[in-house]
Structure 1
Amino acid sequence: MKSLLAFLVCVTAAGLAQAQPSRFSREIYVEKGDTLSYRMLFPDANRQRRYPLVVFLHGSGERGNDNDAQLKWGVMNFATDQNMLAHPAIVIAPQCPERQTWSSVTPDKNREGMTLNAEPSKPMRLLIGLIRQLETKMPVDTNRIYITGLSMGGYGTYDGLERYPDLFAAAVPVCGAGDTSRAASIAHVPMWIYTGAEDPAVNASYSLAMFEALTHAGAHPGFTQYPEVGHFSWLGAYSDPLMIEWLFRQHK
């Protein structure tokens, strides 16, 4: 399995060699005195067109205020020469502040899952405000808003979906967890779930539970579980060309 991980790292590194952090502008969203730093990729194309909006949520290790660490994993795959030519899109990568989270959930030991709390976290509230602002100020195709995230961002992906089920056209949660009791409310959203079979940080059972709940609710989600892979399942997820092609085909 070490050879598989080495292969994934090499493939990812080769693809990202074309991508540059400078392609993402530095931005700040302000709402009632609260701020959310984010980086934004804008397509080099006709600004009169409408473009998909990809919302990328990083993991817990990239929290902070440097407005840079969130570019470490995953999101740079959207900024390669190949993907920018094939799938021009507006991509935003917000940064969650230290000691805060994208999701607001409580572990439910009885169901071995999560229970969505009534109020969103402050970063999630700000993120939704940012999306609403971009809908009005940028050429966003509101029928093609996608959300994805890894680890803490995987939790955030489910959180955003379950709180705002009519906002997103598709989702790719990677090694995350959500409230399976709300699966029916998001069954209409196309989804591709990724996890590692030996993840020591976010047990693969969370992803499997959501997959089963969605399927029971009538959805047809994609599900990829990498054998003998731990927490770094995002190395395969974001370098998967089939997933990228699938994502950009989705619309409301």
Structure 2
Amino acid sequence: MKSRSQLRWALHAALAVSALSSVGMAQEKNSAPSSSPNPSPASKQIVPSTPSQTAAVPIESIYEPREYVGASNQTLKYRLMKPYQYSFGKKYPLVVFLHGAGERGDDNVSTLKHGAKDFADEARRKEFPAYVLIPQCPKDKKWSEVDWSKPSSELPDQASDSMQLLKELVDEMVENAGVDTERIYITGLSMGGYGTWDAIARYPNFFAAAAPICGGGDPKTVERFRNLPIWCFHGAKDPVVKVIRSQEMIEALKKVGGNPRYTEYPDLQHDSWTVTYKNPEFYTWLFAQRKSNVSE
């Protein structure tokens, strides 16, 4: 007998297939979300992508609004983009996207402000069909309960409430939604960058790759994920999260034999995510990673 969660995901899948067979399919085939008009200046390493030249579909219609009720009856609102031309029974990669502090709340809309449009670009969705999960951290909560104002931090003993709920949600998706466990990725910006470092330290054998942007972590934890493919980004002139926070994580990884990629934008301040999520090389790298290729 199927569990309630299995039935729920089966219903979502059936509705998705039904929608794709009617109006939704026409939107998928003929439209793409618009990209941000003014990308930030970049270092020479980055070439912005060209957005799909098709009529725009509202981003809210691409990412379905949902709410997860956890084991402790706490709730986590989230948005979910299904793979392009989703096929029931097939397994797809999952990208977990962690927003920054400014997008906290309960509207389940502000989380689409950064990055979501870039993942939803029509040409990109065709090339890399995947689930993209964007949870919303409640106001006054954090993905990782650390003090951002300090020059360093230690991994808290317990995951934050929001991180625990997120992990429960992802585990449920893995069980019921056709997720390829070889290809679960995590990325996040600012507060979400901290959350990304926190997640891979707590669940080091769960992800296939991580891309923290302008965040920070605990350098003492890097041995846990030293072989995980990581591409870290930060603006050299960041006044909000000092660049040393990323630099110290990268240096710590290298000292224990890790081989992370690191892009530091010499002229950027806090917004190092706009140019990153517009870089086509980022997506090629991310979706090429497989957990089975990560040595223990």
TM-score when scaled to structure 1?
Answer: 0.92
Deviation at 1:108, TM superposition (A): 10
State whether structure 2 residue 126 is matched by structure 1 residue 89.
no
Match of 1:5 among 25, 40, 62: 40
Contact 2:148 2:241 in 1 (8 A): no
Distance 1:101 1:13, change over 3 A: farther
Equivalent position amino acid for 1:77 in 2: D
Match of 1:152 in 2: 191
Cα shift readout 1:129-188 (whole Å, capped 9, x = no counterpart): 001000111010011100000000000000011011111110000000000011111112
State whether structure 2 residue 246 is matched by structure 1 residue 207.
yes
Within-5 A mapping of 1:15-34: 18=56, 20-31=59-70, 32-34=72-74
Return the alpha-carbon distance in structure 2 between the equivalents of residues 182 and 108 of structure 1: 20
- How many residues align? The count is 247
Q: SS at the partner of 1:115?
A: coil
Distance 1:221 1:36, change over 3 A: same
Match of 1:140 among 171, 176, 179: 179
Equivalent position amino acid for 2:122 in 1: D
Deviation at 1:189, TM superposition (A): 1.0
TM-score when scaled to structure 2?
Answer: 0.79
Return the alpha-carbon distance in structure 1 between the equivalents of residues 95 and 263 of structure 2: 21
Match of 1:167 among 202, 206, 231: 206
Structure 1 unmatched runs, 5+: none
Contact 1:74 1:235 in 2 (8 A): yes
Q: Report which of the two structures shows the higher radius of gyration computed on alpha carbons.
A: 2
Return the alpha-carbon distance in structure 2 between the equivalents of residues 78 and 122 of structure 1: 27
State whether structure 2 residue 86 is matched by structure 1 residue 52.
no
Contact 1:103 1:155 in 2 (8 A): yes
Return the alpha-carbon distance in structure 2 between the equivalents of residues 130 and 217 of structure 1: 32
Deviation at 1:82, TM superposition (A): 1.0
Match of 1:244 in 2: 283
Contact 2:188 2:196 in 1 (8 A): yes
Structure 2 unmatched runs, 5+: 1-37, 292-296
Over the residues paired in the alignment, what is the CA RMSD in angstroms?
2.3
Percent of paired sites with the same residue: 42
Distance 1:114 1:78, change over 3 A: same
